[in-house]
């Protein structure tokens, strides 16, 4: 699980970390119960401030993607009760679909693109276990 950080983008670093870990969970690269590196390790490996790494972990915990352990580690966990998709995600999705449409793609093109992205995003999760 290697993080690819882009320091030139407008997306905050802590957000990039959080996003990539979420995608890792979706793909199945990070499995429930798995332990994440410590904030110190993560920070020194990525060349970022400890506060930044900490903020990313805070966010993940708050969202229910991870949970702390009594002895101090951070572990991936299955979120529960999150069955109603966050409306902000829906709105973001709606916007990005609109951007593709405006960019000249047809509805069909966009749908097949979504299908491919979905296959990519959830490959191991749905595939290796069947």
Q: Write out the residues near DNA by the rule CB under 7 A.
A: 10, 12-15, 36, 38-41, 47-52, 54-55, 57-58, 61, 68, 70-74
Residue 98 interacts, among DNA, its own copies, none and using kind-specific CB cut-offs from 5 to 8 Å, with its own copies
Determine which residue in the list 2, 33, 87, 104 makes contact with its own copies, applying CB under 8 A: 104
Distance separating alpha carbons of residues 38 and 40, to the nearest angstrom:
5
Helix, strand or coil, per DSSP, at residue 33? coil
Q: Which parts of the chain are beta strand (E)?
A: 35-36, 66-68, 74-76
Distance separating alpha carbons of residues 19 and 110, to the nearest angstrom:
22
Query: Tokens at residue 4, please?
Result: 């690819």
Determine which residue in the list 33, 85, 128, 130 makes contact with its own copies, applying CB under 8 A: 85
- Cα 89–Cα 26–Cα 64 angle in degrees, nearest 5: 65
> Which spans of this chain sit near its own copies (rule: CB under 8 A)?
7-9, 12-13, 19, 22-23, 25-27, 48-49, 62, 65, 67-71, 79, 82-83, 85-86, 89-90, 92-105, 107, 110-111, 113-115, 117-122, 125-126
């Amino acid at each position: 699980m290697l993080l690819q950080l882009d320091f030139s983008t407008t997306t905050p670093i802590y957000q990039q970390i959080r996003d990539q870990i979420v995608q890792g969970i979706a793909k199945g690269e990070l499995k429930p119960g798995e332990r994440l590196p410590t904030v110190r390790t993560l920070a020194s490996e990525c060349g970022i401030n400890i506060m930044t790494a900490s903020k990313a972990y805070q966010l993940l915990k708050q969202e229910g993607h991870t949970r702390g352990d009594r002895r101090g580690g951070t572990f991936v966990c299955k979120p529960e009760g999150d069955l109603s998709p966050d409306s902000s995600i829906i709105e973001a999705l709606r916007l990005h679909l609109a951007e593709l449409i405006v960019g000249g793609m047809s509805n069909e093109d966009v749908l097949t693109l979504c299908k491919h992205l979905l296959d990519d995003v959830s490959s191991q999760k749905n595939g290796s276990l069947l």
